Amino acid sequence: MPSGILLEYLEDIGMAAKGKENRIVITLACTECKSRNYVTEKNKKNTTERLTLNKYCPRCRAHREHRETK
């Protein structure tokens, strides 16, 4: 069975692809203006605490700290 067909079959029966079950989608919000600007993924097993990154905020027009929101 070709690998593409196998992956489609596994997705159809509800099985996740190998290595994808630990990754979750998170939203990053600016700490100054609270604007939610970025969406990314993180590994919930390796990074249990909230993610903090220095990103550009278009509303503030400056690089600000962006923190993970719920």
- Domains in the chain, number: 1
Structure tokens at 45: 């097993």
> Does 50 map to a domain?
yes
Give the mean pLDDT of 4-13: 67
CB 66 within 8 A of CB 29: yes
> Facing residues of 52 across strands?
67
> Does 62 map to a domain?
yes
> Does 49 map to a domain?
yes
> Does 48 map to a domain?
yes
Tens of pLDDT, residue by residue over 15-39, are 556 767 899 999 999 999 999 999 9
Average pLDDT, the chain: 86
Alpha carbon distance, N-terminus to C-terminus of the chain: 40
Domain extent at residue 41: 21-69
Give the domain CATH number at 46: 2.20.28.120
> Does 55 map to a domain?
yes
